[in-house]
Amino acid sequence: MLRKRLIGSALIGVVGGIAASTASQVSAAPKVIEMTQVPCQFLDVESDKGYASASKADCEAINEKSASERVASAKVITLTPGEYIFRVSNKNVPYELGFWLREKDYNWANPLHKLNKISVSGGGLHQGKSKDYAVTLKPGEYLYSCPLNTTPDYKLVVTDN
């Protein structure tokens, strides 16, 4: 009888440990941030300006005139540290897009930054498609943009508060 109790207690401990482990894995799932690109901008942080673009050069011209003003009034995304998936959609841009999220002071030409700074990027985002970009964010300031759609550098802040 004592042996059955001990085995039962051990089994409850193992099952409880598995349940706790599974719960912690579930709670650690990345948070998904949905983002939508249209010509020359992200809709999630500024209103649709109705820009038309057939190429990157169109957006470069538009942003040369308006990017500073638009970034100043754009919504700043605020997140807590952790695992994220940025799910970026190309709503109606007729050419390939991408996404680039990096620490505010990241310099792609500095080889040390590639080793110790956060940067996630990629292309292949065709019209009507979505693509996921996974990243672990720590407290700090970040910029995100699309170099292929030439959007402004929008702000993202990660804080423990």
Answer whether residue 73 is part of any domain: yes
What's the confidence (pLDDT) of residue 161? 75
Would strands 140-145 and 97-103 be described as parallel, antiparallel, or unpaired?
antiparallel
Determine the Cα–Cα distance for residues 86 and 100; give it in Å rounded to an integer.
10
Answer whether residue 135 is part of any domain: yes
Per-residue pLDDT of the chain (161 residues; tens, 9 = 90+): 544 444 444 444 444 444 444 444 555 799 999 999 999 999 999 999 999 999 999 999 999 999 999 999 999 999 999 999 999 999 999 999 999 999 999 998 998 988 899 999 999 999 999 999 999 999 999 999 999 999 999 999 999 97
Neighbours of 41 (CB within 10 A): 29
Q: How many separate domains does the chain show?
A: 1
Check which CATH number belongs to the domain holding 120 and give it.
Answer: 2.60.40.420
Sign of the alpha-carbon dihedral angle for 130, 136, 139, 143: negative
What's the confidence (pLDDT) of residue 28? 73
